[in-house]
Structure 1
Amino acid sequence: MFDSQLNPAQRIAALKSLASDEFDVLIIGGGVTGVGAALDAASRGLKVALVENQDIAAGTSSRSSKLIHGGLRYLEQYDFKLVREALHERELMVSSLAPHLVKPVGFLYPLHEKYRERTYVGAGLALYDVLRGFQRALPWHKHLSEKKIATIAPSLRGDLINGAIKYFDAQVDDARHTLVVARTAARHGAIIATRVQCEELIRDGKRVVGAKVRDLNSGKKITVSAKVTVMCAGVWSDELHEKFGIKPGYKVAMSKGAHIVLPKSAIKSEAGIILKTSVSVLFIIPWADKWIVGTTDTPYKADRTNPVATKEDVEYIIDQANRVLHPKIDAADILGVYAGLRPLVANAAGSTTTKLSREHTVDRPVPGFVSIAGGKYTTYRVMGKDVIDLAVNDLRRIVAESITEKLPAIGADGYFALVQQSAQLAQMSGIAQTTITHLLDRYGSLINEIFEIIDADKKMAEPLTPELAYLKAEIIYAVTHEGAQSVDDVLSRRTRIAFEASDGGEAIAATVATLIAPILGWDAAAKKASVSEFTSHLKNERAALDKLLTRTR
């Protein structure tokens, strides 16, 4: 049987496998599309390897709005197919594929007019509900009066708001979900190796037959043999096509989306809020005991590796939210800021590239090489299926159809029963029930692996910081089971402390380094370097906020 654990020993074995085995499919890119494709291919019985030059979900897939949704704005563009597809995926994730990670969340759509706007928006939300089909994991929308809104959301301005319509979508910790999909792929036999950079493709005539990759930790170069190479590189697509000497059938433009994080006390509302702006929409999203507010949508041509919010991004978000909020939010309230890049795809004129929706495109520019770009987080599974459907044509044999629609992520099995048993789990473990709920919503039925770490050292049941719910055991687990290789991996993606903590996690970075150092074999210098790398990155992330606060003091 295969193992889902990602850790130093697994990485060593993965590197040996890359050097010695021949793969049916080599996947370049460890975002949600890449790991989704790896799971799709592995669950069809194919021999699969995935390489990622940073960390799993290091780019766009950890920097989204954390929503699993159909996209209300696409209804206005009459793209019913895309909305229906996304809503179907949403229902699957909430009900069966990842219920421990993907949760329903209610949103209020504030109304400024009593009659015409209510009729128009209500009709749109009715269609939104109908398009999801017969599955009913989330409630239907409902109309709320002005009086009811004053009770549910006191922060909405009563002088502007004449009621609201409440509807439901879902939310997810994107980095955690991407990691869990990667681990699920490993559980089904995929070889996963992070911090491994693809440097060039190997060709036999015109056909691509593998790639030369480099282990960034050791500098060692590895030749990987594969019948077909699949590139899921997102905003890196254009750069890699050029590097590989391939003329693709599409181009990718980058759009930056910035978000701010606020304490729960900053906005008084029992539900999230969605606001229509002049350019798009703005979400005010509940996030445990905080709010995530965003997003922006601006062209971006700078550093792909570390996109950061600007002072203008933060001001825009605050200004748009404050149109309907009282009291108004202030820059001084902000706990964290982050920004991500959307890969917006445009097909080249006359290309044979297949644009399967307005959101994503698959391409086979040369034999043995397939790529995919565009898309939205919610439809990652469909994107993985679509790109593997095209890739298997290069295998020249009959390959089974995709089964991922019926394949739950690790941790999903038994989750609903464990939620019902949370009181018993608390009693048995000696851990508070609120903490048990926190663990179940992060690990699902894999919670027993956290318990094993605590059983070995009772100190691991202690909170990492009084400010947040994370346990020390979760920091250990991030390295022993989830492939974390740095302080940044732990604080930015395995946990979300980098934008949840009031100081971004700077005060506990050294503590984290001390906890994970023995597992990663670090000496004092390596610990110091990893902490320094994280704090430098954190400083860049928070620079826009610091500028704004300096200006307002």
Structure 2
Amino acid sequence: MASRKPRGSVERSNAAQTGRLGTDERERDWQRLENETFDLVVIGGGVVGVGTALDAATRGLRVALIEARDLASGTSSRSSKLFHGGLRYLEQLEFGLVREALRERELMLTRLAPHLVKPVSFLYPLSHRIWERPYTAAGLLLYDTMGGARSVPGQKHLTRAGALRMVPALKRNALIGGIRYYDAQADDARHTMMVGRTAAHYGAVVRTSTQVVGFLREADRVSGVRVRDVEDGRETEVKANAVINCTGVWTDDLQKLSGSRGRFRVRASKGVHIVVPRDRIVAESGLILRTEKSVLFVIPWRNHWIVGTTDTDWNLDLAHPAATKRDIDYILEHVNTVLATPLTHEDIEGVYAGLRPLLAGESEETSKLSREHAVARVAPGLVAIAGGKYTTYRVMAADAVDAASADLPGRLQPSITDKVPLLGADGYHALVNQADQLAARYGLHPYRVRHLLDRYGSLVHEVLAVADEDAELLRPLPAAPDYLQVEIVYAASHEGALHLEDTLTRRTRISIEYPHRGVDCAEQVAKLMAGVLGWDDKRVAREVEVYTARVEAERASQTVPDDEAADEARSAAPEARPDLLDSVS
């Protein structure tokens, strides 16, 4: 029988050293939820939720983060994967939002997450003579100088011939010239997970598959939450001085569950992206194209391109937004207006749909709703935050913790997350310079080591150490050779992956990077996870069956024309977490 050590013991401190989210830590965290009183309980494991947990923990607060599904299982794994100011927000005169976002981009590139966030170039094709070049150049000059942006090159003007040399895939008559500018990108799901692990490193409870099923009250104030472990059905009460609702598109649902009247409403806007092979678009740079509603990006993504996005209202299943044939046709139609060799449905390797949590406003067009965020103390002991954009998650998190200060005892320290690198950042640059030596030590190709460094940073030693007892784990997955088998084991042992879909869709991006969408390697990945999570053959078979059904349902939804039919097709697949309660988020 395990000894019951007091909280704050050496055992707990050691577990938190690298923010490990393993099975032992999961059980220990449940005991903490049962027995401790927290300063803050954060609901929601998207980027704003984990960012809020990190902000609070690094201010010295006792924090617990609760997520019903998986880290980044909603919007935060389904974005355009960009850290950017948002060029179109300049046209909407939202200068403060752009400046704030560009400052965050700079921090990520230089101090907080250089292993995860990388510069990426875009070509803006010009199609109008006389006015368009100076108009666009003026906007990009602001973009290049606002927010202290110094870590990416400034704009470069190109003739039509120069632009075509940079992007030979373009039709010659699609442009009269171009301007190249830079932004930054990251694997959104991996970044969110690493923010969560960093919060755990600083002492926060970070617990997934844990659903809030009710709120605790003392007189007129919220004093905590009742939670349910959706893996085994256990329930407990978690006491806290304040609760922060960081559930994005589920904000209104949680508000109703709490019995408090909300101060704002959230509308869900569906954004769909497609993924195509790199050789289908011959280019040295990404593209940004104007559409009648917004903009369309063609974004470099390893050996692929991500093309999107759409922007339409969504009022159906919030957990599983479905892409339709109409969404995909819209993307293909618009990108093909400028491509010499059109993309077809047969070129598509992956498709994903996400929901933006937009603050509801007077405009009926989701593309015109503000990306500003709102934060409010909706009741004593309860704060809600919504809106915003991925890039500004850290600012949103700080505002949310500040808003909870009225319910916290003592003086609240100021936010310091602009000075707190994410796990894996420290030492990353030196390891990049040592990639050849690392490769020789582990018998890997230097390219492979650089790829690992850009996923794990200085945690790469911890990842590769998992293979010390089994060198076979350093071999690639045969059906998804961009990933090593050791990465699958590490996802389950350190990164909190509890189900096959967690690994195939978020710890890796196999679900969108291969035409088989993960089905061809599902059994092997499940068996690798089984060794860590203690699955028997029956459980392995079920995980594979559920994941395969998910892929089939997503493919079916992408062949029908409207949202209702797509939602019906996608809903045919079972939940990976079957014990989730439908009545609450």
2:274 paired residue number: 260
Is 1:33 paired with 2:48?
A: yes
2:215 alignment partner in structure 1: 201
The aligned counterpart of 1:369 is 382
Post-superposition CA distance 1:378-430 (Å, at most 9, x none): 00000000000111221131011000001000000011111111111111211
Give 1:267-282 correspondences, 5 Å limit. Answer: 267-282=281-296
In structure 2, what is the equivalent of residue 397 of structure 1? Answer: 410
Deviation at 1:534, TM superposition (A): 1.2
Q: Which residue identity is paired with 2:105?
A: R
Is 2:47–2:390's contact at 8 Å kept on the other side of the alignment? yes
Task: State the SS of the aligned residue for 2:321.
Answer: coil
Map of 1:10 onto structure 2: 25
Kept after mapping to 2: 8 A contact 1:197/1:214: yes
2:9 matched residue in structure 1:
none
Asked if residue 542 in structure 1 is aligned to residue 572 in structure 2, the reply is no
1:443 is the counterpart of 2:456 = yes
Contact conserved, 2:322 with 2:558, CA < 8 A, in 1? Answer: no
CA contact (8 A) 1:478 1:484 kept: yes
Query: In angstroms, what is the RMSD of aligned CA positions?
Result: 1.3
Amino acid at match of 1:383: M
How many Å separate the matches in 2 of 1:431 and 1:466?
A: 19
1:333 is the counterpart of 2:344: no
Taking the aligned partners of 1:394 and 1:359, their CA distance within structure 2 comes to 25
CA shift for structure 1 position 497: 0.1
Look up the match of 2:499: 486
Q: Is the 8 A contact 2:40 2:241 kept in 1?
A: yes
State how 1:460-499 maps to structure 2 within 5 Å: 460-465=473-478, 467-499=480-512
Distance in 2 between residues matched to 1:542 and 1:9, nearest whole Å: 37
Structure 1 residues 205-244: aligned runs within 5 Å:
205-244=219-258
Map of 1:430 onto structure 2: 443
- 2:155: which partner in 1? 141
Contact 2:124 2:179 in 1 (8 A): yes
Look up the match of 1:344.
358
| SS of the residue 2:174 aligns to | coil
Structure 1 CA distance for aligned equivalents of residues 333 and 551 of structure 2: 24
State the distance in 2 between where 1:415 and 1:404 align.
Answer: 19
Q: For the residues of structure 2 that align with 1:83 and 1:329, how far apart are their CA atoms?
A: 32
Match 2:515 to one of 502, 505, 513:
502
Q: Give the TM-score of the pair, scaled to structure 2.
A: 0.91
Letter in 1 for 2:75: T
Structure 2 gap segments, 5+ residues each: 1-12, 363-369, 562-585
Aligned partner of 1:514 in structure 2 is 527
Which whole-Å CA distance do the structure 2 matches of 1:181 and 1:404 have between them? 11
> Which residue pairs with 1:100 in the alignment?
115
Q: Letter of the aligned partner of 1:331 in structure 2?
A: H
Amino acid at match of 2:455: R
Aligned with 2:468: secondary structure?
Answer: helix
Unaligned runs of 5+ in 1: 349-356, 549-553
The alignment partner of 2:265 has SS state of strand
| Aligned counterparts of 2:115 and 2:551: Cα–Cα separation in 1 | 29
Mean Cα deviation higher: 124-133 or 56-65: 124-133
Counterpart AA for 1:503: H
TM-score, normalised on structure 1? Answer: 0.96
Counterpart of 2:542 (choices 516, 525, 529) is 529
Taking the aligned partners of 1:95 and 1:36, their CA distance within structure 2 comes to: 18
Query: 1: CA distance between counterparts of 2:144 and 2:387?
Result: 25
1:44 alignment partner, SS class: coil
Deviation at 1:465, TM superposition (A): 2.6
Q: Partners of 1:531 and 1:246 in 2: how far apart?
A: 41
* Helix, strand or coil at the partner of 1:396: coil
Instruction: Look up the SS of the partner of 1:250 in the other structure.
Output: coil
Distance in 2, Cα, partners of 1:149 & 1:67: 23
User: Do the aligned partners of residues 482 and 358 (structure 1) sit closer, same or farther apart at CA in structure 2, a change above 3 Å counting?
Assistant: closer
Deviation of 1:130 after TM superposition, in Å, equals 1.5
Equivalent position of 1:420 in the other structure: 433
Letter in 2 for 1:183: R
Equivalent in 69, 80, 83 of residue 65 of structure 1: 80
Following superposition, the deviation at residue 160 of structure 1 comes to: 2.2
Aligned partner letter, 1:306: H
Aligned partners of 2:358 and 2:371 also within 8 Å? no
2:56–2:63 contact (8 Å) kept in structure 1: yes
- TM superposition outliers: structure 1 runs of 4+ over 6 Å: none
**In 1, Cα distance between the equivalents of 2:481 and 2:359?**
38
Whether 1:313 and 2:327 are equivalent positions in the alignment is yes
Q: Distance in 1 between matches of 2:394 and 2:478?
A: 35
AA of the residue aligned to 1:142: K
**In structure 1, what is the Cα distance between the partners aligned to 2:283 and 2:244?**
45
- The answer on 1:116 being equivalent to 2:127 is no
Residues 125-148 of structure 1, C-alpha deviations (whole Å, 9 max, x = no match): 111112132x41111011011111
Q: How many residues matched?
A: 539
Whether the aligned pair in 2 keeps the contact of 1:208 and 1:228 (CA below 8 Å) is yes
Hey, what's the Cα distance between the residues in 2 that align with 1:317 and 1:211? 42
Task: Tell whether the 8 Å contact from 1:114 to 1:163 is kept in structure 2 after alignment.
Answer: no
Question: How far, CA to CA, are the matches of 1:257 and 1:465 in structure 2?
Answer: 32
Letter aligned with residue 120 of structure 1: Y
Q: Distance in 2 between matches of 1:268 and 1:467?
A: 23
> 1:540 & 1:341 partners in 2: Cα distance?
18
The alignment status of 1:171 with 2:189, answered yes or no, reads no
1:459 maps to 2:472? yes
2:328 and 2:248 mapped to 1: Cα distance?
A: 25
Per mean C-alpha deviation after superposition, the further-off stretch among 157-166 and 279-288 is: 157-166
Does 1:150 pair with 2:164? yes
In 1, are the aligned partners of 2:215 and 2:257 still within 8 Å (CA)?
no
Match of 2:337 in 1: 323
Alignment pair present for 1:160 and 2:171:
no
State the one-letter code of the partner of 1:161. L
* 1:546 CA drift (Å): 4.9
For the residue of structure 2 that corresponds to 1:166, the secondary structure is strand
Secondary structure at the counterpart of residue 182 of structure 2: strand
| Distance in 1 between residues matched to 2:506 and 2:153, nearest whole Å | 30
- State the SS of the aligned residue for 2:400: helix
CA distance in 2, matches of 1:298, 1:358: 15
Q: 1:16 to 1:468 in 2, by over 3 A?
A: same
CA distance in 2, matches of 1:60, 1:269: 29
The aligned amino acid for 2:112 is L
- Say which is worse superposed, 289-298 or 1-10, in terms of deviation: 1-10
Aligned identity (percent) is 50
Shifted more, 309-318 versus 2-11: the winner is 2-11
Cα offset, 1:540, TM superposition = 2.3
